[in-house]
Structure 1
Amino acid sequence: MSDDEKTGQNHIQGLERGLAVLTAFDAERPKPTVAELAAATGLSRPVVRRVLLTLQRLGYVSNLGPRWTLTPRVLSIGQHYTATHALPDLAQPHLMRLADQTDESATLATLDGTEVVYIARVPVRRVLSVTVAPGTRAAAHATSLGRVLLAWESPERIESVLSEAGMPRFTPYTVTDPAEFREILAVVREQGWSMVMNEREEGLLSLSAPVRDHHGTVVAAVASSTSTGRTTPERLREEVLPLLLETAKRISAELGSE
């Protein structure tokens, strides 16, 4: 039997469609209509409606007239991830220590597909306009976390992410040229950390370093984030970078990295 045949036999189309509809709920579509979900997923309206009715019966969505919304039950999916993956729990005290040392937000993220997904975070009271919580996703090319997570990937993996996700421009400063981005990743690999300023949002300044497992593989990235109104890249590099690198080292040691 061919690999394609095996893949077809093991493929559950209904599950794929259900997940597509669930993940179509986002900041741009917090309470979408059936038509909006159909446009976002590429599924027909009758299919989307059947999926929604199934999810409603299971308790994951609720109906608000012509619009639909997620219920708190979807949070249980993320709780199952946390319960079965030690990394967020292992990292949390180290993130808290980093946030206390810097008085800035500390974040842990991994690469999921073509995007960065935040899996742990210790915020500070100051709130930037970018809302970040565990489960939040961001474009990899415009974040220091994403650049760290991609820097140690294979060239084929990097090309796959760039071709699939593209490099959309979020601000006038966002790097959108693939050749320039590859050069940036080479610098990140060489120096062992990444700094990004004004690329995801003007005024946002972040610094990231890699977290490695017992094989030495980069499995996550830790970041300290602030605003350009509070500090400068030079001060961040001088004052926060040593603390960030030590935090990444401590989390890596928890995972068995030497």
Structure 2
Amino acid sequence: MTAGARGKAGRARSGEAASVRTLERGLSVLAALAEAREAPLGVLARRVGLPASTTYRLLETLRQQDFAEWDEASGLFRVGRRAAQVGSAYSAQGALLGAAREPMHALVDELNESANLAALRGSQAVYIAQVEGRQLVRMFTQLGASAPLHCSGVGKVLMAWQDEATVRGALGEGPYPAFTPHSITQPAAYRAELARVRQQGYAHDDQERELGVRCVAAPIRDALGTVVAALSVSAPTSRLTRTDIPRVLAHVQRAAGEISARLGWTE
């Protein structure tokens, strides 16, 4: 590596470190603002231990992104709309996990197979909770891992009640990647599959993501009826045969209905 290259790399690292420090300071200002509810510039600067000029620049950046608001008449800063949205999302996920805990454990006790809870995060179905079965060979999913929207039970459930623009934005124009010979790869076929999921109220993945694995999934709704998550049970095809699907599905739908009821949904 030449000396010039080393100099460029050093400047990049220095710039990245400065950006991280700025982000940390901005978050500390936002946290102080949230704790104070509303406060003038001087009070916030003292709380975070920064010069007033620096604190003002950070607040102005937060204000431009709607994470903070400023009332000209009183001179007070307040938490902005986008910060409230972040807090609301955190609160909603906590409520979802709390509502799902007991029904998921009961579901695993009934079926002795692993149960998963997934939610839509951007263009991915992300697993946010799991209760493992007690079989010697059992399905395991790392929390925070994502599932493909077009060939997983949870992905189909989370997409089925979205509008066409959201589906297209999340999956693109296609064709979609084939994980197995059973994967749905064409947009028209996928839209037809989503219509079936809406009509029947559940989805299944018949070796579409991984050969030898089947999955059934049901929607979880909040108090407004919005599908906010998907509950699924996955198992090897030897234990979850096609003839077993109705029996397993009945348990999954009952657990999903109980979670939805705990979130305030009534049919």
Match of 2:154 among 145, 148, 163: 145
Distance change (3 Å), C-alpha of 1:188 and 1:83: closer
Match of 2:202 in 1: 193
Residue 109 in structure 1 maps to residue 118 in structure 2: yes
Residue 99 in structure 1 maps to residue 112 in structure 2: no
Matched residue SS, 2:166? helix
Distance change (3 Å), C-alpha of 1:129 and 1:53: farther
In the TM superposition, what whole-angstrom CA distance separates every residue of 1:67-104 from its partner, at most 9, and x where no partner exists? xxxxxxxxxxxxx9589622112201110000110111
Q: CA RMSD in A?
A: 2.9
Match of 2:65 in 1: none
For 1:105, give the aligned amino acid.
S
Match of 1:232 in 2: 241
Tell me how far 1:138 sits from its aligned partner. Answer: 1.5
Inter-partner Cα distance in structure 2 for 1:98 and 1:134: 19
8 Å CA contact retained: 1:114, 1:165? no
Distance change (3 Å), C-alpha of 1:84 and 1:187: closer
8 Å CA contact retained: 2:132, 2:140? no
- Aligned residues with identical type, % of pairs: 37
In the TM superposition, what whole-angstrom CA distance separates every residue of 1:207-235 from its partner, at most 9, and x where no partner exists? 00000001011011100111102131221
Inter-partner Cα distance in structure 1 for 2:101 and 2:114: 12
Residue 249 in structure 1 maps to residue 247 in structure 2: no
For 2:240, give the aligned amino acid.
T
Distance change (3 Å), C-alpha of 1:94 and 1:179: same
Match of 1:182 in 2: 191
Match of 2:83 in 1: none
Inter-partner Cα distance in structure 1 for 2:150 and 2:11: 36
Structure 2: state its 5+ residue gaps.
Answer: 1-8, 25-88
Matched residue SS, 2:240? coil
In the superposition, the TM-score normalised over structure 2's length comes to 0.64
Distance change (3 Å), C-alpha of 1:241 and 1:48: farther
Distance change (3 Å), C-alpha of 1:48 and 1:134: farther
Match of 1:168 among 177, 185, 201: 177
For 2:220, give the aligned amino acid.
V
Inter-partner Cα distance in structure 2 for 1:47 and 1:89: 43
Match of 1:202 in 2: 211
